[in-house]
Amino acid sequence: MDRKKFLKASGIGLGMVMMPGMVKCQSALANDYSIKTEPKIIKDEEGNVLNVIGDIQTHKLVGSETGNQIVEWVDNVDPGVGIPPHIHTKEDEIFRVIKGQIEIMVDGKTTVLNAGDVAFAPKNIPHSWTVVGTEKAKMITSAFPAGIEHMFEELAQLPPGPPNFQKVAEICAKQGISFV
């Protein structure tokens, strides 16, 4: 078979094999991107600041701005503050350390992240983090798909002082998050 005939024959065969997947992919994209989104530039000092039980979060992007694809916030956290081991059932998370040190546990493996380091915690995998060292840490956290920002808004409404763990667990459970 010459080259032209081969390419023509294999292209048609490949198209027939890939067509169902391509149609399915187009269908999924239409559903995921049905919400019109607009470009946005957010300066470092901008965003919605929440005190989520000692985790000072500045929300930069939320689901209503990203077609519910992603939410992103900056954690500005004092040494010793952290989130105990928990599991998400709805969203994956990415943690990017900008300043300071974060001890992170993902799926039983613990390591210290420094500026420039990144960790990925997929849904259904236990993870936790704590600021270690002596300086405040700054970390960019992304969660996808979006939705978790509503839980953070509710947690930020809790009264100051030591949190009522039962109430925190109840709020988190509505988002499909459980503590382990």
DSSP-based three-state secondary structure for 136: coil
pLDDT tens for residues 43-68?
999 999 999 999 999 999 999 999 99
Q: How many helices, marked H, and strands, marked E, lie in the chain?
A: 3, 11
Nearest to 93 by CA among 114, 123, 51: 123
pLDDT tens for residues 73-105?
999 999 999 999 999 999 999 999 999 999 999
Unique residue bearing structure tokens 């943690």: 95
**Which pLDDT score, from 0 to 100, does residue 64 have?**
95
pLDDT tens for residues 125-179?
999 999 999 999 999 999 999 999 999 999 999 998 889 999 999 999 999 999 9
Sign of the alpha-carbon dihedral angle for 177, 178, 179, 180: negative
Instruction: Give the pLDDT band of residue 1 (cuts 50, 70, 90).
Output: low
Burial class of residue 108 (count of CB atoms within 10 Å of its CB; 0-12, 13-18, 19+): exposed
Asked if 80 contacts 67 with a C-beta cutoff of 8 angstroms, the reply is no
Asked if 129 contacts 104 with a C-beta cutoff of 8 angstroms, the reply is yes
Maximal C-alpha separation, the chain: 78
